[in-house]
Every structure is written in C-alpha cells, then in structure tokens.
Structure 1
C-alpha cells in the first residue's frame, strides 16, 4: 500500500523522471542545479514537495502550497501542482491518496479552498477530481515564459 511523505533529497532523480512523464520534457539537471532548488523548497513555509511511496519506490509526487491570504476572512488557500503518478502505477488509488492528503492538509491549515489546474487532455484525472468533490468553477489562463 502506498503512503505519502515529504520528499527527501535522494528522491529528486525519481521526481524528475515523473515530471518528464507529466510534461513530456526531459531536463538533464545536475545535483549542482537541483540541490539549491530543493533546499529552497524545503525551507519555504507552506511549500510541500511530497511523494507517494510503495514498497520503497517513489510512484507519485505533487506539490502542495498553503498560501496566506487577506481575502475570504484572511483564510489561507491551497493549491496542488505537478501531481503525477507513474504510468505503470495508475488506477491503483495513488492519485486519490495524494489528492486526499492535500485536502486533509488544507483542512488542517484552515484553508477555505483547495485549487488545482489540470491539462484539458487529462480526462481520467478530471474524473478523479470530480469524484473527490472538486468542481469545474473557473477558466484557467497560462502564459508560459
């Protein structure tokens, strides 16, 4: 059975492999490039890089951000980003586990909402999010730089 835990530095190569599955882009980053970024992520309050692990193998990952906020009664909000499960491990509840973890952490933090964006092509993911109570409630806009 899979469990969720904070990512550790030795997980970085596997996380990058999962990101390649997510984006279709390969970035051959060195430890010299990734270590300072991981250190910054790890030191930021409210920024969690998480992994799903099964039998000591990282099979999924996501980023959860808890964002301080002055609107909505000064309640924070949460955003899930870069959620991906290994293609060979999908449809086994790992995406659900990660998403439910994010929802629980957001509730613990007193967030008024959890938000996520998902590529329009990821219909399987959309079914999962809707089954967990997410609603299609806004248009999303991106500008890649």
Structure 2
C-alpha cells in the first residue's frame, strides 16, 4: 500500500530517474502528472486534477540530437527499472536484503512495467507508448515526446 511516508521515495524516483536520460543527452525537461485542469504548478512541474491517469515528460532539443539518443530517452524508464531489478536481486543474493514480499513484488511490478511500456502502442495521434516512441525514433527519426 502506498503511504504518505512513501512520498520522498516516489518524488526521488520521479524527479531523478525519469528525466535522467534526457538530461544525460543535454535536454531540458518539463513534467506533467495527470490530465485535466492544472491544480499545482511549480517551476517545470505541473500536477493536473486527474493526477493518477497519466504522466509524461516533455524535453527540448537534445545536445546530442539523433535517432539513437531519442530512443535512449524513451527507453530510460525501462532501463532504470531493469537496473533496479538487478540491484534488488543482487542485494538479495548477497544477503544484504532479505527475500520478502516487498522484494518479490518490486521485481514483479518492475518486469510488468517494462513489458507494458515497451509494447509499441499508439494511444492517440500525439501520444504513444515508450515502445512505439522508440520504434518511431529508430525507424523514422520521429520525435513523439517533444511537442515542437
């Protein structure tokens, strides 16, 4: 169950893990959580009224601007989840972390996220899954996350 005490962990993940690939390739990022009317805005972060429905990251032109770097940005979430799976499993194998419901569910849901985020699905004319964005970037050089 997600509790208020989990917020620092969530914010750390959201503000560090999600944009790290865009920042790595020289991009500037904006965050929007949810859909609908904006209820909170602080610098480059917006929270919308239906906050649980969607979230996305918009980035400006990358310093290293090519098909591969854009595909890496789109794959950043899946790569971070895969790295976290290896980290948790490594900690369990090294007996630093005990096998528990938390470690099992963390790995299970991380795998679930990776699989479904990489399915190449076009949600609307302007939004796609990470998998579709990766495919479009590599195949056509199309940037689907950047509105410009």
TM-score (norm 2): 0.31
Larger radius of gyration: 2
More strand by share: 1
More helix by share: 2
TM-score (norm 1): 0.31
